[in-house]
Amino acid sequence: MSVVRPVCLRGAVPSSILALLFAPSVAGAACTEGAGTQEVTAAVERAEGAFGNVDIEEFNAATDAMAALLPCVNEVIPRNTAASIHRMQGLRAFVDRDPERATQAFAAARTIEPAYRFPELLVPEGHPVLRDYDAIPIDAPVVVEIPKPAGGYIQVDGRTAYERPTAWPVLVQIVSDEGAVRDTAYLRPSDPLPQYTVEEKVSRPVAAAGTDTVGGGPEPVPVTVGPSVPIAALGGVALITSGVMYLVANGASKAYHDPSTAYTELDGLRSRTNSMQVASVGLAAAGAGIGVTAVVVGQW
């Protein structure tokens, strides 16, 4: 077994974090104290150095420590650190001979820092890691929605977002309105989100037809806007009858003024002309009024 070399950390580090950093295997260890991004960065640097030195035992211990620290992180992780975490997860999967997990983690890192290339001292040219690093296209990711929390916001790989890709892992943090990190989780594509209270979606209710209240009662019947057919037909009959009466009155008037008409017929022609004219005008007015009523009612 190789000797674990100590790592110089900036600032005071809780003893529980040091125990995690130098434990041979800490996967699944419970958080007894919070951790900051400084401790995560130290674990990443330790893992990079071990991989470059081909010290697999040290590398495994460092990546185990990094994985155990993540659930304890109580600070918002910046994007460059999130990319480094994904790269170390990819290298660990490569060492574990898990190409699917390796290519997924590398794809996640590339979405954050697409221009990044491993240093030659860490991954020399021609190393098989480079083949896995670019294996998954990242141009058109398929994503799923992340529900908004009832309070605060969601950080995905170091930025506020409410969706996650389905083809590679993400580093998710749930942050309160005050900026306190409630939960930090490294999620593979099939892993569920941490538990949190989801923001309730309030939809604006629609009042039922003919009421001022919401919900209940039968569904409103669709109404076709337009003139009432029965009323419009009645108005049309009145106008047609008025026209016929007008023609009768006009014919009686012509006969009345015809010199050849017998004197004994004049009284009857005059009476017919007057009555038909009055009836024609009355029916015309009634027909027009009925037509207006048909439009105002406006229902079939």
The predicted model scores a pTM of 0.59
What would the pLDDT profile of 83-100 be if each residue is shown by its tens digit? 999 999 999 999 999 999
Position 207 scores a pLDDT of 44
- Measured from the Cβ of residue 117, the count of other Cβ atoms closer than 10 Å reads 10
Q: Contact at 8 Å (CB) between 138 and 107?
A: yes
**pLDDT tens-digit series, residues 113-168:** 999 999 999 999 999 999 999 999 999 999 999 999 999 999 999 999 999 999 99
Helix (H, G, I), strand (E, B) or coil at 210: coil
Q: Which residues of the chain have pLDDT under 70?
A: 1-30, 202-300
In the chain, the amino acid numbered 201 is: K
Report the relative pairing of strands 170-175 and 153-156 from DSSP bridges: antiparallel
Sheet containing 153-156: order of strands: 159-160, 153-156, 170-175, 181-187
The owner of tokens 């009832």 is 150
